[in-house]
Amino acid sequence: AGSCIVRVTSVNNPAVFAEVKVSVVDPNKTVTAKTKTADGTTTASQTGGNTETTTAANTAAENTRADMQVIDGITYFDGVMIVNKTYTLPQSYNPGGMTADTRAAFAELQEAAKADGLTITSVSDFRSYETQDTLYHNYVARDGQAAADTFSARAGHSEHQTGMAIDCNWAGDAFNTTPEAKWLAENAWKYGFIVRYPQDKEAITGFKYESWHIRYLGKEWAKKIYDSGLCLEEYFHIDSKYAE
């Protein structure tokens, strides 16, 4: 006797899947097989066979959206890579550092800030899956998981793994009131960046306000997001919640 879970995915849309739980039982024992269909209907039947199967389809609305694409386990909405508490990166995803486009755009941003008498530097940008895992668990050990989840992403859920996220100057609440933070909020979009976790959006992004954390989207998308006054989750109508 024992059990296992078999996942069946669609070749055309890997985001759509069904998980089948198979349990081996006494062949003379009557079991109930429950199947949950895509519309949420659950059916049950009695059988004297040797398996019990439960199917749970991933029926999240986003999975059938025309603007959503999953490539190699990475989720995009309208071509924008999304990484948050809902959408993950594979452990193997590693661009090797800040992406070339991000680096070039950040250099342009730094020059513009310098012209305005300000200095903006990167204190943390690319982090591998393994580095993020260590960092997150250090915070959990120090502050507890509930607190850590408000300001540190679990491994695979961190934008820093994309190579397109930068923590500027210093990562701390004291940065929020600096001229540099104000400048980033007003000007980062001009160079292809957004302040990823805006003030008063904690319940939507899943993370506390981080004036220092900017995400590269490219100038066209950054302007759209900035002009909308929305965070990425609001703009694309998506969630940021861990599965548990």
Q: Range with the lowest mean pLDDT among 40-49, 120-129, 143-152, 194-203?
A: 40-49
Q: Range with the lowest mean pLDDT among 6-15, 139-148, 234-243?
A: 6-15
Domain ranges of the chain: 2-59, 64-236
Report the catalytic residues: 210
Q: What pTM value is reported for the model?
A: 0.75
Q: Taking residues 192-206, report their average pLDDT.
A: 98
Q: Are 28 and 49 in contact (CB under 8 A)?
A: no
pLDDT at 244: 78
pLDDT in tens, 212-238: 999 999 999 999 999 999 999 999 999
pLDDT at 64: 66
- Round the average pLDDT of the chain to a whole number and report it: 84
Question: Looking at domain 64-236, which of 1.10.1450.10, 3.30.2270.10, 3.30.1380.10, 3.40.50.1010 is its CATH number?
Answer: 3.30.1380.10
| DSSP SS3 for 78 | coil
Q: Taking residues 20-39, report their average pLDDT.
A: 42
pLDDT at 68: 96
